[in-house]
Amino acid sequence: MNRVVLTMIGTAALAAVIATTIALRPRSDGPSSESAKPGAQSKAAVPTLYCEFTNFADRTPLVGFYFTIEQDRPKPVYAQVFQREQDGTSDDFGGPAAPRPEWSFDGADKPAVLHSPDDAMQINLYDYNPDKPGSNWFEAGLRSVRYRNLGGKCRHSSA
C-alpha cells in the first residue's frame, strides 16, 4: 500500500514539474508570423539584437527593443521588429501599415551607437562586436528625452 501511494505522489510531483517547466518556458521574441510565410524556411535566418533597459531603482525592464540585422547591404541595417514597454504594451513593426524602422549603426564611435531613424533615441553599445554573435549579454545605454538616460543590456544572437 505504501509503495502505491509513494508511486502516485512521485508521478504527481513529476507531472507538476513538467507542467511548470512548459508554462514558464520563455516565449520566442521573434515574430511568429514570419515562420508561417511560404519560403521562410528556405531563406537563411537573420541575426538579431535584443536590448532591454531598466531604471536604477528597479531591475525590471522599462523598455525593450528587438532588431533583425540585415547584412545584405553595404552597411548592416538594424530593422526594429518591436518595442515592448514595462506595462505590457508593445509596438510591432513589419506589416504594410507599420514598416520596420531602420536604425543606423555607427561602429566608428566608442562605444558603438545605434541611432533611431528620427534621431530621437540612441543606444550606446559597450564592447559590442557585430562580427561576434553569441548568447552573452553586454552593457548598453539608452539616451532619449522620453526615457532619459537608462542603463541596460543587449544580446546579439546569430542566425
What pTM did the predictor assign? 0.69
Question: What class does CATH assign to 38-157?
Answer: mainly beta
Indicate the domain borders of the chain: 38-157
Express each pLDDT in 14-28 by its tens digit: 554 454 445 444 444
| Strands in the chain per DSSP E | 48-54, 63-70, 77-85, 90-92, 102-106, 112-115, 121-125, 137-144, 148-157
What nine digits make up the cell of 45? 535566418
Residue 80, C-beta contacts closer than 8 angstroms, at least 6 positions apart: 65, 66, 67, 93, 100, 101, 102, 103
What nine digits make up the cell of 154? 543587449
Query: Mean pLDDT across the stretch 123-140?
Result: 88
- Residue 106 has what pLDDT? 92
- The yes-or-no verdict on residue 130 having pLDDT over 70 is yes
Express each pLDDT in 40-59 by its tens digit: 443 567 899 999 999 877 78
